């Protein structure tokens, strides 16, 4: 990706960082880079994520999918087990990919009624094989397939760890299985089978996605001034320490809306620790100019606004019109309008002293998307190093999982008791 942090400098933005500070920070970036490189080399827990472009075997994914030529893919997974795959297929225009990444009964029913089950590939993803939401949805989908006369074992691929109930089930029914790579947390797994199976099943060039990741990896360098991923991470970190505790992530492309969700998980779950971490806010340009821009310009200066766009798009002309006050639109294009809005918003934030960073990719093709995912991950890992937080774990999530399991009668957990003791202060 291409990074332009001109509008995040102290000369432009209230919470901005000076060139001198960035130069001093660059010493720490160099040390962090050494740490990251050695972690990658040794395939240490978490750091192994940044080795996926070399470690993922696209051939194995294609083998697992041999014989499938689905009309649609239904991914059953949640969090990192769904978001990477959704992000990649959406960015590459594969609208035939659907996800059950929630346990909403109405949504589940509606989706199952709509999908052509006899030509849908069911893609079940859970590292442990015990994720309650995923397994509950899997049981519901399996029953719906049976009721529709579809043999589920003929239409299911599983991505899971080496052991657990999902692995056992796959072995029992001889289902194709893709591995979840060791040492790679879910939110960093987009460039493994976890993120690539639906893309491959729908005809995307997963080799090019991985090649893009490899370009991102090759671009890692011991200076933020030489490496786009680190430039973005270092500036985000510097701004957070100066009060930008929110990171509004605003792609200017509908196909990148899931990327904003993926980014929100990456940033929140990796960096939200020890009382630190920017709150990611997902937004969408140009739509959210009519929703969030008032706040970003005139509210607290506690934000970094990250603006992202592809430099090239397949465009659509705006027809000429005889309506005089609109004639300036005729002859332009929808993409031209969107780009004008992008630049106008960026300048409007700068004029208000609101820090912002511009990220650009050449276009939304497999290589650019693979590189973008890799570089945003590397940026996140760098922030973790600079902030001194452990980016690869998510300990705070466990409490709620135990409480929910206890409430459902899945064992004796003291957290479930705490739920019963809620302080109630009700107004109806």
**CA–centroid distance for 317 within its chain:** 31
List the structure tokens of 306: 């990250």
Choosing from 269, 360, 375, 385, the catalytic residue is 269
The DSSP H or E segment spanning 229 is helix 228-241
Q: How many residues sit in the footprint of a copy of itself (CB under 8 A)?
A: 146
- Cis link prior to 82 (omega < 30° from 0)? no
300 scored as a contact of a copy of itself (CB under 8 A): yes
Burial class (CB in 10 A: 0-12, 13-18, 19+), 290: exposed
Comparison of 183 and 243: residue with beta carbon closer to a copy of itself: 243
User: What number of residues does the chain have?
Assistant: 428
- Shortest Å distance, C-beta 272 to a copy of itself: 3
Residue 401 catalytic? yes
- d(C-alpha 98, C-alpha 112), whole Å: 10
Comparison of 67 and 105: residue with beta carbon closer to a copy of itself: 105
Among 79, 84, 179, 181, binds a copy of itself (CB under 8 A): 79
218 scored as a contact of a copy of itself (CB under 8 A): no
Pairing of strands 156-160, 120-126: parallel
323 scored as a contact of a copy of itself (CB under 8 A): yes
136 scored as a contact of a copy of itself (CB under 8 A): yes
- Shortest Å distance, C-beta 6 to a copy of itself: 4
Binding mask 390-419 for a copy of itself (x = CB under 8 A): ----xxxx-xxx-xxx-xxxxx---xx-xx
Pairing of strands 303-310, 246-251: parallel
- d(C-alpha 317, C-alpha 296), whole Å: 31
Choosing from 290, 314, 414, 422, the catalytic residue is 290
Residues in region 327-386 near a copy of itself by CB under 8 A: 328-330, 332-338, 340-341, 343-348, 350-352
Residues in region 157-186 near a copy of itself by CB under 8 A: 165, 168-169, 186
Is-contact 178 60, C-beta < 8 A? yes
Choosing from 114, 143, 173, 401, the catalytic residue is 401
Comparison of 8 and 65: residue with beta carbon closer to a copy of itself: 8
425 scored as a contact of a copy of itself (CB under 8 A): yes
Among 69, 71, 118, 254, binds a copy of itself (CB under 8 A): 254
φ/ψ of 10, rounded to 5, equals -60, -25
Is-contact 403 416, C-beta < 8 A? yes
Comparison of 61 and 82: residue with beta carbon closer to a copy of itself: 82
Residue 269 catalytic? yes
Comparison of 38 and 407: residue with beta carbon closer to a copy of itself: 407
Comparison of 60 and 268: residue with beta carbon closer to a copy of itself: 268
- d(C-alpha 88, C-alpha 84), whole Å: 6
Residue keyed to tokens 């001889």: 174
The residues, any chain, with a CB within 8 Å of residue 9's CB and separated by 6 or more, are 16, 17, 18, 19
Q: Which stretch binds a copy of itself (CB under 8 A): 45-53, 59-67, 150-158, 267-275?
A: 267-275
Residue 254 catalytic? no
- DSSP, res 325: G
Active site residues: 269, 290, 401
């Amino acid at each position: 990706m291409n990074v332009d942090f001109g509008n995040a400098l102290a000369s432009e933005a209230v919470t901005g960082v000076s060139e001198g500070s960035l130069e001093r920070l660059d010493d720490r970036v160099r040390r962090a880079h050494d740490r990251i490189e050695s972690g990658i080399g040794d395939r240490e827990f978490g750091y192994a994520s940044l080795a996926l472009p070399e470690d993922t075997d696209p051939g194995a994914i294609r083998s697992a999918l041999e014989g499938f030529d689905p009309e649609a893919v239904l991914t059953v997974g949640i969090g990192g087990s769904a978001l990477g795959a959704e992000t990649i297929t959406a960015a590459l225009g594969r609208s035939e990919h659907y996800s059950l990444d929630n346990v909403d009964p109405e949504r589940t029913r509606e989706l199952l009624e709509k999908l052509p089950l006899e030509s849908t590939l069911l893609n079940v993803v859970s590292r442990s094989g015990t994720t309650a939401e995923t397994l509950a949805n899997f049981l519901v989908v399996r029953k719906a397939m049976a009721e529709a006369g579809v043999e589920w074992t003929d239409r299911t691929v599983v991505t899971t760890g080496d052991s657990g109930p999902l692995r056992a089930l796959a072995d029992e029914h001889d289902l194709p299985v893709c591995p979840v790579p060791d040492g790679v947390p879910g939110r960093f797994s987009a460039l493994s089978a976890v993120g690539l199976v639906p893309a491959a099943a729908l005809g995307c060039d997963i080799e090019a996605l991985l090649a893009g990741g490899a370009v991102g990896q090759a671009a890692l360098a011991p200076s933020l001034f030489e490496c786009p991923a680190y430039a973005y991470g270092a500036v985000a970190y510097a701004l957070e320490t100066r009060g930008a505790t929110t990171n509004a992530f605003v792609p200017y492309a509908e196909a990148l809306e899931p990327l904003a969700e993926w980014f929100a998980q990456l940033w929140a779950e990796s960096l939200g620790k020890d009382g630190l971490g920017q709150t990611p806010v997902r937004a969408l340009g140009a739509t959210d100019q009519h929703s969030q821009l008032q706040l970003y310009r005139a509210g607290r200066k506690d934000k970094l606004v990250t603006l992202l766009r592809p430099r090239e798009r397949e465009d659509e002309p705006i027809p000429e019109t005889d309506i005089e006050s609109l004639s300036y639109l005729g002859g332009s294009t929808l993409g031209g309008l969107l780009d004008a809005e992008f630049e106008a918003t960026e300048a409007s934030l700068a004029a208000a002293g609101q820090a912002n960073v511009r990220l650009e990719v050449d276009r939304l093709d497999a290589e650019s998307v693979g590189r973008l995912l890799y570089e945003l991950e590397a940026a996140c890992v760098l922030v973790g190093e600079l902030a001194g937080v452990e980016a690869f774990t998510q300990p705070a999530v466990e409490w709620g999982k135990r409480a929910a399991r206890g409430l459902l009668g899945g064992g004796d957990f003291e957290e479930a008791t705490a739920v019963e003791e809620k302080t109630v202060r009700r107004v109806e």
